[in-house]
Structure 1
Amino acid sequence: MMPRWLRTLLSTRTGLFGVAVVALIVLTALVSLLWTPFDPMISDVRGRWAAPSWPHLLGTDGTGRDILSLLMAGARTTVFVAVGSAVVATVVGIALAALGALTARWLRETVAVLVDILIAFPVLLIAMMISAVWGGSLWVVVFAVGIGFGVSMARVTRPELRRVQQSDFVVAGRAAGLSTGQNLLRHLLPNIAPVFIVQLSWSMAVAVLAEAGLSYLGFGATLTEASWGTLLADLQRYIGVHPLTVVWPGLAITVTVLGLNLLGDALREATDPTLSRDADRLHEPVVIA
C-alpha cells in the first residue's frame, strides 16, 4: 500500500517532475559507474568539435572527448556533492537547532548569536577560503556547503522547535519520563520535518550550483574528476564558434536545480498536515445565508 504522502507527492505535476528529474540524475550516476559511451577522460584530437551525430550523440569538445560521457560522469559528482552536503547540513542544522532551543537560556542565546555571525558569511566565499588553504576538492565543497546551509537550517528550524516544545504531547512525554533526546527524536523532529525538508532540498539545489560554480572557478573538482562546472568552463571560451556545446552542461545544471526545488516544495505540501487541512477546506461546500 502506497503511503498517503507519496500518493499526494506523485499526484502533483511539480512533485512528479521533481521525482523524475532526481531519479534520472541518480540513475545516470549509477549507470556511469559501470558504463559510458566513451571514456570521458580520453581525448581524440581527430574527432574534436564533432557535431551531434552517431556515435557522439551530443558531439565532442575541443579535445575530442564525448560530451554525453562527460555529462554522465559529471552526474556522479553532482549526486556525491548534493547527498554529502545534505548529510553534513542535517547534522549541523539539527545540532545547532537543538542547542539553540532545548538547552539553558545562556547557551541558547550564545548559539543564536553564533548562528547570526556564521550566517553572514556567504557559502561560496567560505568554500573559496578553505580551498585556498587546503586546495580545491569535492570534499571542500561538501563541507563548506553543508556547514553553511546547516547554519541556515538551524536558524529556520530553531523557532519551530521552540514552538513545538510547548505542545501538550511534548509536555506529556516529559511527564512520562522521556529525556530531552528521546523527545527530540520521537516528537520534535517529526513535527518540524516539513520545514526541514524544504530547507534540505534547497541546500541540495544550491550545493549543485556551488559545486558547478566552484569547479568553474577552479576551486572544486580536480582535472581528473568529471564535473558539469569544469566542462562549462572549458566550453564557454568557444561559445561564439560552437555555441551548442555549452547548452548541454548548462541545461543539466538548470534542470537538476529546478527539479530539486520543485521536489522540496511538493514534499512540503505532501507531508505538512496543516496544508492538507487548508486544501480540504477549499473544497468544502459553503452555505451562504
Structure 2
Amino acid sequence: MPGWLSRLWRTATGRFGLIVVAVITVTALVSLLWTPFDPQESDVRNRWAIPSWPHLLGTDDTGRDILSLLMAGARTTVFVSVGAGVVATLVGIALAALGALTARWLRETVAVLVDILIAFPVLLIAMMISSVWGGSLWVVIWSVGIGFGVNIARVTRPELRRVQQSDFVLAAKASGLTAGQSLRRHLLPNVAPVFIVQLSWSMAVAVLAEAGLSYLGFGASVVEPSWGLLLADLQRYIGVHPLSVIWPGLAITITVLALNLLGDGLREATDPTLRHRAAEVHTPAVIA
C-alpha cells in the first residue's frame, strides 16, 4: 500500500470519505449492468410502497423503485463530479502557472482576469448558460469546472510563487532544469495539499450544483437519472410521504460530506510539512 494511502486510512475523516466515495463509485458501475428494477419502469399498482421486500426503499408516485433510481442517479453524480474535477484541474493549473511563472505583464493580466471571473457565482453562470444552450449535464460540468478552476488558480498561484523562491527550486534552475520540469518535479508536488482541498471542494459543489440545477430544471434532462430530479419529484409529496424524500436528500448530503472529508484527509496524508511536525511531536526529547 502506498505511504500516502496508508496515512489516509489511519485518519478517521479520510477513512470515512474513502469508503463512501468507493461505495458510490462501485454503485455507479454496478448500475450500468444491474439494478433491482428498471429505474424508469412505472408500476401504478405499487405506488407509494413502504420500504419492504422487494422495494427496499419504497416506491414513488408512479411506482418506480427508489433504490433503483438512486443507484442509477449515482452514475450521474460520479460523471458530473469527475468531469467538473478534470475541468477545474486543467483550468486551475493553467491559470496558476501563467499567473506565477511567466513575465510580469502576463502575471498581472492573469491576476486581473481571475479577480473578474471569481466575482460571478458558479450557479449563476450555469443558469445563464443553461438559459441559452439548454439544460444538460455538460453545462453543469463546464460551469462548475471553470468556476472552481478560477478558485483553484487564485489559491494556488501565491503558493506557486512562494515555492518558486525556495532554495531547492533556485538550485534546480541553476542546474539547468527547465520551467516545465521544475513545475512538474518541484512546484506542483509542494502545492498539492492546497490543490487537493480545493479540488475536493469543487467536486462536492459539482454534486450540489447538479442536484440544485436539476431540481430547478437547468441540469439533467427528464430522461436521465438524477438525485436532484428525484428530489424535485418527491418534494411535492413531503407532507404525505415524507420518508421518500429522505433518501435522495441523504444521498446528496453524505456524498458532499464524504468528498470534503476525503479532501481534508488527503491534505493531511500528502502534506510533507504536517508529517514533519507530527514526527517532531512524537519524537521523544533526549535528556542529557
Instruction: Give the TM-score range, shorter chain.
Output: over 0.9
Q: State the one-letter code of the partner of 1:119.
A: I
Partner of 2:205: 206
Partner of 1:151: 150
Partner Cα distance (1:242, 1:281) in 2: 56
Shift of 1:287: 8.0
SS of the aligned residue for 2:145 comes to: helix
Q: State the one-letter code of the partner of 1:157.
A: T
Partner of 1:71: 70
Task: Output one character per residue of 1:80-131: Cα deviation in whole Å (capped at 9) or x when no partner.
Answer: 0000000000000000000100011111011001101100100000000000
Partner of 1:54: 53
Q: State the one-letter code of the partner of 1:43.
A: S
Shift of 1:285: 3.7
**2:159 corresponds to 1:165:** no
Partner Cα distance (1:168, 1:192) in 2: 16
Shift of 1:172: 2.2
Partner of 1:130: 129
Partner Cα distance (1:122, 1:45) in 2: 42
Shift of 1:280: 2.4
Shift of 1:175: 1.9
Partner of 1:15: 14
Q: State the one-letter code of the partner of 2:249.
A: G
- For 1:1-289, what aligned pairs fall within 5 Å after superposition? 2-285=1-284
Q: State the one-letter code of the partner of 1:167.
A: S
- 5+ residue gaps, structure 2: none
Partner Cα distance (1:7, 1:182) in 2: 28
Q: State the one-letter code of the partner of 1:164.
A: V
- TM-score w.r.t. length of structure 2: 0.97
Partner Cα distance (1:277, 1:178) in 2: 27
Partner Cα distance (1:133, 1:124) in 2: 14
Partner Cα distance (1:86, 1:44) in 2: 38
Partner Cα distance (1:5, 1:186) in 2: 18
Give the length in aligned residue pairs. 288
RMSD: 1.3
Q: State the one-letter code of the partner of 1:203.
A: S
| Deviating more after overlay: 149-158 vs 40-49 | 40-49
- 5+ residue gaps, structure 1: none
Shift of 1:42: 1.4
Partner Cα distance (2:10, 2:18) in 1: 11
Shift of 1:12: 1.2
SS of the aligned residue for 2:222 comes to: coil
Task: Output one character per residue of 1:32-81: Cα deviation in whole Å (capped at 9) or x when no partner.
Answer: 00000011011111211111111111000001110000000000000000
Q: State the one-letter code of the partner of 1:104.
A: A
Q: Percent identity?
A: 81
